[in-house]
Every structure is written in C-alpha cells, then in structure tokens.
Amino acid sequence: MKEQLSYISGSSNQPLIGQTIGSLFDEIVELYPAREAIVSHHQGIRLTYRQLKEQVDACARALIATGLEKGERVGIWSPNCAEWAIVQYATAKIGAILVNINPSYRLHELEYALNQSGCSLLFTADQFKKSNYIEMLNSLMPELETGEPGKLRAEKLPRLRTVVHLGWDQHPGMWDWHGFIKNAEKASPETLAERQALCCFDDPINIQYTSGTTGFPKGATLSHHNILNNGYFVAETMKFTSEDRLIVPVPLYHCFGMVLGNLGCLTHGATVIYPSEGFEPEAVLRAAEQERATAIYGVPTMFIAELEDPHFHKYNLSSLRTGIMAGAPCPIEVMKKVKTIMHMPEVQIAYGMTETSPVSTQTRPGTSLEKQVSTVGKVHPHLEIKIINPENQRVVPRGTAGELCTRGYSVMLGYWRDEAKTKDAIDPARWLHSGDLATMDEEGYINIVGRIKDMIIRGGENIYPREIEEFLFTHPKVSEVQVIGVPDEKYGEEVMAWIKLKEAETATEAEIKAYCQGKIAHYKIPRYVRFTESFPMTVTGKIRKIEMRQISVEELALKRDAGIEVA
C-alpha cells in the first residue's frame, strides 16, 4: 500500500468572497439594517448595522477630507472600543492601510511601528491600564504642544501629519474624535463612493506587527481578500448566522479580535460584543448573560480566569453554544469545563499565525472529544497544508513530525518593506513556512508538537527571545544574554533571561526588571532572571537553549508545570 504523505487541501461548497470589505459591508447593511452590529458594554454604545454605516461613512469622509490618499497608512493605538471597529471599516472603504499598534507598546516600539510603516495619521486612546498614551505621545512629539491639528511636523516621526484622540477631551495638536468627524462635511457621499470604487480586493488593507527575531517587529501585510475570507470561514465553520452574538474579550489589534471577531460577525450579519476595553473575566460573564451571547472567544488563560472567577456561578450562561480557544495549548480539564459548565459544547480550537490571516486549521462541531483536545483540527476551506522535512523540503509521511506550511488565499502579501524576510517566510511556490513542528494523522488532523523557532507563547502573545535579548544588551552591566521560555501553569510559558554580567559588575533580578519597565511591553519583561558565568553550548559553539530550559525547570521546580497535559 502506498505511503500516505502529510499533504491535504480544504474543500468547500462555499466559494471565496471576491469583494472588498467596504463592498460586502454595504451589502450586509442592506440585508440586516436593524440588527445590532456592535455592542460596547463599557462605553454604553449600541449600534445597529444602519447606525454603524452612518458612523463608518462619516469617518471615511473625514479621512478623505484630511487629504488621505489610497494606500496611505493609518495607525490605531487603542484598547477595544466601538471607534476601533469604525476606523477599521472606514479605512477599508477608502483604501487606506490600517496599522494595528499593540496597546501595550512603549515609546521605543511605538516609534518603530509608526516610522517603519510610514503612518501619516494616528488614532489614539487616552490611556490603557498604566500607559498614558497622551503623555507618551507628547514625550515622543513635543511639537504637538504648539502644533495645529492635521499639520504636525515631528522630528522623530517625519511622516506623521495628523493625530486624532478617540475621545471628547481636547489636547494640543490633536483633533478630538467629534471634531475630526465634523470634517466629513468637507467630503460628499459621492466622493466616498468614487474612492470606494477604486479599491480592489487584492489591495493591502492592514499591517500587523509580529515580534521580530532580529530585534524589530515585522509588518505582516494583509489584503481585503486575506482577512475578509478568513473571518468568513472561521465563523462559517462555527455555523454562525445573523442570530449569533459573539463576546470578544481578545484585543482588536490582533487578528483574533479584528478578523475572527469583527469580520467573522460582519460576514454573517451577527453581533459583536466588547465587554470591556481590556480583558476582565467578570465583564465577560456579565456581558454573556445580559446580552444572551451565543459564543465567546479567548486564549486558554482567559477561559481559566472566567471559570475561576469567584462570581462565576451567579451568571446564567445557558445561551452559549460555541466559541474559539486559540493562541496557546489548553489544559484538557479546562476544555471539559468550558464544554459543560460554561455551556459551550461546540467550542472549537483554531491554529494559525498573523501571516496567514490568521487561521489555517480548526476543529469542527461533532469532532470527537479526543480530537478536540489533542489536535488543532483540520485544514480550513480553500487552503492547503503540507508538513515537510526542514532540511530537504520533502513532504514527510503521515505521523512524522516536520515543518507546517500553508498555501492559499490566506497567505499574507509579505512583510511591509522587507523583501528579504518575506522571501525567508514565503517560498517561490507561495508556501508560507510557519517554523512550527507538526504531525498530520490519517484523517488529516494536525497536531502541533513543537517549534523550530524558539518563540515563546505567553498567554496567547507571541514573543521572540531575540527581541528581548537585543534590548537587554543595552543594559550597561550586561555582557551576554540568552532568553528562553519556561513552562507556566497559568500562561503556558513565561519569559526567562540568562545573563552574563561584565567583569566586576553585580546586579539583581529586581534591577534587571526595573530596567525593562516602561521600555518594553509588560508581557516581554522576564519573569525569571538567572545570572551565569557561561551558557551550555554545542561542540560547534551554538547555544543549547534546550539544555538551558531543562536546567531552569529543575532549578525553579517547574516540573509540575512542564508536565501539564494539554490539548
């Protein structure tokens, strides 16, 4: 019998959507004008599809009035809110490229993202958690203090012309949200229709930064076709209809929120619900009960926090049926509780990466419990997956581990202004190489068994050690540093830094952590710091991070966490 190889393609009776986001948006509004499109609990905002269109079109016309051209980049730096979605759809309508900026970014990361993408306009919130965005922007751009809204000239951000504050308060050099929207009067509905007609579904529409292995993030550039279809097929696989009401506690800056959440609901005329600006477990439970939600998204740590909330049992979650858990391995016992006491028997696991818009595989309703908790599902419709030997690029037999590669409509256009890294990720045959080690069983189910790259996944956040290493090298006392991931029961993995100090220098763990505060995102700050005189190495002089991890697990007594059975 011929050996079965690890290749599979996803079939579907549903064709790909050959439209722009703006075009489909207008069609859905016509179909479901009175249905709720967005509910933002923490803001007290409810918008039907008709009302959402009014605000989206006003925002789009205001953008045109500022002189924004097709293809220009618009940054958004904000936690979850209704305005985030309005900006998402407005930029899509006029062919501007939305640049998602992580709400946890500090000044160094913000400056890089704005300059590398060449943003000419930035939407910003007041603050998020301990980050005061307005203060940070004034620090980065002191020119704001005397600047005129829309006519900024900043030395450190030479391309940026306009800053819009997503709120009522007025700040020097910035438009407030409502003042900005008034600019819509200067651009007619006909002008918007003309601009929208110029858009093509293969145009770039979104840049999302992924942690960089060379010290700087890479801007995965996605088209209308990429993300509109991925949002559609994720929701279609969950059997979404216009009756569904989805809780989105995951951040909108990430594909999970803006694609699986916003676009998944849009393509089906469903309702998206933001329970809070950042994740709060009780806010999710409260919104699920009050809104009679049918689905919840989240990474495993979010579901764990919801299940462990002291008020969990007072909430009626009987309206729920499905959802997606993704971003990190899920403990099996957590999955069982989500299916039963959270009333989500059809909860699904999804796998993917920003570079594939993001989902490549997903479990289905009716999949056996064993497959639900031991795999990341089967290939998505209209996509291909193969698992190859990284050394010779040949497809491996079923059951053999190799690198997972994806091809199809979801593969990004490339990394923004980085041809070399694009070629590293996408081969000449348009296969996207994930860097993840996986196996494929006889039925086509995929299991992720490890990572070729040494990426750390902490609570759903992808962290590349090299980025942290290069930052820690800037500490005056540090001679060498290696960063690894160590197991953690709550977050899946935590960041650990092994540091070799310069001769005659001394330092403490607290000193290293304090050096990171306010300079890199909080989730990248090492949880553990180990000072060492040397690193485990191979005969050829390569650092053995596997051995470092083994030593750290022993020293930190993390064996129990390392042995957690995961889905």
- CA-based angle 112:116:122, to the nearest 5? 75
* pLDDT by position in tens, the chain (length 567): 678 999 999 999 999 999 999 999 999 999 999 999 999 999 999 999 999 999 999 999 999 999 999 999 999 999 999 999 999 999 999 999 999 999 988 898 899 999 999 999 999 999 998 889 999 999 999 999 999 999 999 999 999 999 999 999 999 999 999 999 999 999 999 999 999 999 999 999 999 998 644 457 899 999 999 999 999 999 999 999 999 999 999 999 999 999 999 999 999 999 999 999 999 999 999 999 999 999 999 988 799 889 999 999 999 999 999 999 987 667 778 888 999 999 999 999 999 999 999 999 999 988 887 887 788 999 999 999 999 998 899 999 999 989 999 999 999 999 999 999 999 999 999 999 998 889 999 999 998 876 676 778 899 887 878 778 878 988 999 988 899 999 998 899 999 999 999 889 999 999 999 999 999 999 999 999 999 998 897 544 557 888 899 999 999 988 666 554 444
pLDDT of residue 503: 85
- pLDDT, residue 261, reads 98
| Residue closest to 16 by CA, chosen among 480, 382, 507 | 382
- Identify the H or E element spanning 530: strand 528-531
> How far is the C-alpha of 513 from the C-alpha of 511, rounded, in Å?
5
In CATH terms, the superfamily for domain 456-562 is: ANL, C-terminal domain (3.30.300.30)
Which CATH architecture does the domain made up of 1-11+360-408+429-453 adopt?
Answer: Roll (2.30)
Distance CA 363, CA 351 (A): 9
pLDDT score at 561: 60
Task: Output the six-digit token pair for 414.
Answer: 């490339």
Cis geometry, peptide bond prior to residue 149 (ω within 30 degrees of 0): no
* Ramachandran class of 430: left when φ > 0, alpha when ψ lies in -120 to 50, beta otherwise: left
pLDDT of residue 216: 78
The domain limits of the chain are 1-11+360-408+429-453, 21-219, 456-562
Residue among 470, 510, 498, 553 at smallest CA distance from 217: 470
| Contact in structure between 199 and 70 (CB atoms under 8 Å) | yes
Distance of CA 361 to the CA centre of its chain: 16
Contacts for 310-315: CB closer than 8 Å, 24+ residues apart: 311/282, 311/285, 312/285, 315/285, 315/286, 315/288, 315/289
Helices (H), 361-446: 369-374, 419-425
What would be the CATH architecture of the domain defined by 21-219? 3-Layer(aba) Sandwich (3.40)
CA distance 299 to 551: 28
Q: What is the pLDDT of residue 461?
A: 84
Give the pLDDT of residue 191. 98
CA pair distance 212, 467, nearest whole angstrom: 6
Helices (H), 244-368: 255, 264-266, 281-290, 300-308, 332-340
Six-digit token pair at 533?
Answer: 């005189």
CB 450 within 8 A of CB 437: yes
